[in-house]
């Protein structure tokens, strides 16, 4: 099946503008065009878009994502590079998770503190620790 850019935008939640921008930056070399130059997305393009979105949402630069896309276009001779790429990125994502877990711990601590305050009816008699 073939999808227009607006179909893809609806299906992925990415705006048409974002998809065009990604294409301009070289992240969508796998997308064909019709005789009028309009992008023609296919079912298997959604997998690439999902990976691009994942990498972008986990803080990867478009330049790094483009490198990954280029390796995929080169085929099996870049399997090791792609694996190593994801091993390194996993470290970044783990660091982000640890940071967010620290934030959650702080929020949980404040919930506990204010729950004790509400129960006591005041902050005066509740320890901060």
Residues 42 and 27: their CA atoms lie apart, in Å, by: 15
pLDDT recorded at residue 125: 81
Task: Give the strands of the sheet with 39-42, arranged side by side.
Answer: 2-3, 39-42, 32-33
Q: Distance between CA atoms of 67 and 62, rounded to whole angstroms?
A: 9
Could you list the pLDDT tens digit for every one of the 129 residues in the chain?
999 999 999 999 999 999 999 999 999 999 999 999 999 999 999 999 999 999 999 999 999 999 999 999 999 999 999 999 999 999 999 999 999 999 999 999 999 999 999 999 988 887 776
Q: Under 8 Å CB-to-CB from 55, ≥6 apart: which residues?
A: 64, 65, 68, 89
Helix, strand, coil percent values for the chain (each to nearest 5): 70, 5, 25
Pair type for strands 32-33 and 2-3:
unpaired
Q: What is the pLDDT of residue 129?
A: 67
CA 56 – CA 58 distance, rounded (Å): 5
- pLDDT at position 15, please? 96
Say whether pTM exceeds 0.75: yes
């Amino acid at each position: 099946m073939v999808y227009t850019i607006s179909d893809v935008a609806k299906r992925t939640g990415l705006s048409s503008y974002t998809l065009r921008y990604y294409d301009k930056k070289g992240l969508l070399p796998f997308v064909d065009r019709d005789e009028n130059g309009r992008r023609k997305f296919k079912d298997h393009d959604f997998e690439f878009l999902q990976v691009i979105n994942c990498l972008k949402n986990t803080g990867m630069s478009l330049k790094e994502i483009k490198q990954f896309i280029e390796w995929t276009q080169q085929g099996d001779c870049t399997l090791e590079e792609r694996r190593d790429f994801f091993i390194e990125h996993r470290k970044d994502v783990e660091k982000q998770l640890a940071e967010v877990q620290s934030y959650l711990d702080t929020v949980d601590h404040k919930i506990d503190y204010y729950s004790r305050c509400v129960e006591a009816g005041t902050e005066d008699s509740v320890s901060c620790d």
